[in-house]
Each structure stands twice: as C-alpha cells, then as structure tokens.
C-alpha cells in the first residue's frame, strides 16, 4: 500500500486535472496483505483516540450492541467493550483483517463479546437493533451520494434511539484550516477516485438526507480528527 501511495502522489498533477486519482482503477483485493499490514501498524496510533471516543460516547444513552464498520485493528470497538462490560461488539471487515481485530480483542480480554461479520460493509447484512455504529475513517474514501446511501443502511441497522459515531478529518468551511484536515483532502484526491475530507456541514447534510434527526460535532478533541455524532 505504501508503494501505491507513492505512485499516487507522483501523479498528483494528473489527479488534479482528472479530479480523482490518476492510478489505474484497480482497487486492492480483499485478500491483499496490505490491508492486514495497515491494520497492524495503525493500531498503536489509534489507541488513544479510541479511548477518548469511548469515554465521550459513554455520556450518551446506554450501549449494549455496537457495530464497528471497517473495523481494521478493531481498537475502536475494543475500547467500547473495555469501558462497558455490557457491550457486545460486531466487527465488519475483510476476513484476514478481522483476524488482526480478533487477536487484539483476545489480548484485551473481550473475545467473548467480540463477534465478526466478514465481507464488504456495502454488501453484508448488518442485522438490526444496534445502539451504536462506529464509522471511523471510512466515509472519506467515497463521494457524497455513496456516503449518503451507506448512511441509510446504517440508519436502518440502528435502534430508534441509536447513534452513529463518525470519526473523520473535518476541515473548516474555508477548506484550508486546520492545515492537517485540509491537507487530507489532497491525499484523497491522489489516492481515491472520488473521496474527500468533508466539512461538518457536508457530513451533516449526508446524515440528515440518510434519515438522521440530529447531527452534532463533538467539542472533544480526538487528535487531529473530529467526532461527529448522528442521532437516529
């Protein structure tokens, strides 16, 4: 994946002209070892953000059933399970990536409450009656219509009082500040066909169009990213 990133940025001028990645439209296959490596190297970086988010979400309604989208290393769902002994976590990702998440769940002592749903988050059946859906570092890969359609699927999976927790790089309306969040849009331009770093208003619009009644930007700092909570 690192080589693919380098190739993408070498072609940044072509990406700007095209309005999307200049890489050949050959996405990584589900069993590509790059996904496993990415999950492994990102886990230490996401431990503190996961604990911050778990503490913030504990301030809301009781959480017993949690869906973790594109779980990767699984640390976001695991942090919820560690902070709430009643929580059952259902993790969605490619099968080999879920092996990484399951190993981390075992190390954290929450294996009995950690369940896997292998496959694409766009294709698998989530089930229903979730109190919380974690959507961390996922929406930026796709264009607004795709994000909205996906959020409708999430909305359907939630209980009437359920919440979706969205973690993203969120630039200000000027789209040049803060610098890290704004610069992330350039990474998405280089590396994806239609992804972007979305402002809060853009995320709010997608969530409301998907059926969510209230969308709020959490004041709690989560590193260089921000937490958006959408209420069904």
Residues 129-156 pLDDT 10s: 999 999 999 999 999 999 999 999 999 9
HEC-encoded secondary structure of the chain: CHHHHHHHHHCHHHHHHHCCCCCCCCCCCCCCHHHHHHHHHHHHHHHHHHHHHHHHHCCCCCCCEEEEECCCCCHHHHHHHHHCCCCEEEEEECHHHHHHHHHHHHHHCCHHHEEEEECCCCCCCCCCCEEEEEEECCHHHCCHHHHHHHHHHHHHHEEEEEEEEEEECCCCCCCCCCHHHHHHHHHHHHHCCCCCCCCHHHHHHHHHHCCCCEEEECCCCECCEEEEEEEC
Residue ranges for the chain with pLDDT beneath 70: 1-29, 190-191
* pLDDT on residue 11: 56
**Structural fold of domain 2-231:** Rossmann fold (3.40.50)
pLDDT value of position 22:
45
pTM of the model: 0.90
Domain ranges of the chain: 2-231
């Amino acid at each position: 994946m690192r080589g693919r990133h380098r190739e993408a940025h070498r072609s940044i001028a072509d990406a700007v002209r095209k309005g999307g990645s200049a890489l050949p439209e050959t996405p990584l296959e589900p069993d590509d070892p790059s996904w496993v490596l990415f999950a492994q190297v990102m886990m230490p970086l996401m431990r503190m953000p996961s604990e911050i988010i778990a503490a913030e979400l504990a301030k809301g309604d009781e959480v017993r059933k949690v869906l973790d989208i594109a779980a990767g290393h699984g640390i976001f769902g695991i942090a919820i399970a560690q902070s709430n002994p009643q929580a059952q976590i259902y993790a969605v990702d490619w099968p080999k990536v879920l092996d990484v998440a399951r190993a981390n769940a075992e190390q954290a002592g929450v294996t009995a409450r950690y369940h896997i749903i292998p496959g694409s988050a766009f294709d698998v059946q989530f089930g229903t009656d979730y109190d919380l859906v974690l959507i961390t570092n996922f929406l930026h890969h796709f264009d607004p219509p795709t994000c909205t359609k996906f959020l409708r699927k999430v909305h359907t999976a939630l209980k009437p009082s359920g919440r979706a927790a969205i973690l993203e790089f969120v630039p200000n309306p000027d789209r040049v500040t803060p610098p890290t969040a704004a610069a992330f849009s350039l990474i998405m331009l280089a590396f994806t066909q239609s992804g972007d770093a979305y402002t809060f208003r853009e995320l709010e619009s997608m969530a409301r169009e998907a059926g969510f009644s209230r969308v709020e930007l959490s004041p709690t700092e989560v590193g260089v990213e921000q937490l958006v909570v959408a209420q069904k």
